[in-house]
Amino acid sequence: MKLSRPVSWFLLAFGVWSWFIWITFVKNLWKDGSGLAFDDAGDPTAYFWVHLLLAVASFLLGTAIGVIGFRGVRALRREAANHPPEPPASSSSSSSAT
C-alpha cells in the first residue's frame, strides 16, 4: 500500500504529538497532589492504574502510527530520488498553416 505525502506527514505528526501529550500526561499523573492518583499513605489508587494503562496504550498506538507515517515519508523520498522529474515538454509548435 502506498501512502500519499499528506497522509504520511499527518501520521508522523500524530505520532510525535502522542509522544508529547502522553509523556506530559504521565509526568503530571505521577506528580498529582489532588488525592486522585495516590491515597493518603502515598499508594497508587485505581484512578492512577487505569490512567497509566490508558496512557501506555495510547503511547504505543501513537508510536505505531508515527512509525507508519515515517516509513511512508521515507518511501516517498526514496521514490523521488530514484525517479527524478522529467523536464517540461517543449512548447514550440512545428505545424504551420499554408
Task: Split the chain (98 residues) into runs of 10 and give each run's mean pLDDT.
Answer: 90 95 93 88 92 94 96 90 72 56
At 95 the pLDDT is: 56
| Model confidence pTM above 0.75 | no
At 93 the pLDDT is: 54
At 28 the pLDDT is: 93
Taking the C-alpha atoms of residue 23 and residue 7, their distance in angstroms, rounded to an integer, is 24
Cβ proximity of 14 and 3 under 8 Å: no
Cβ proximity of 77 and 9 under 8 Å: no
Taking the C-alpha atoms of residue 66 and residue 10, their distance in angstroms, rounded to an integer, is 9
Using the 8-state DSSP alphabet, how is residue 95 labeled? -
Cβ proximity of 66 and 15 under 8 Å: yes
Cβ proximity of 68 and 14 under 8 Å: no
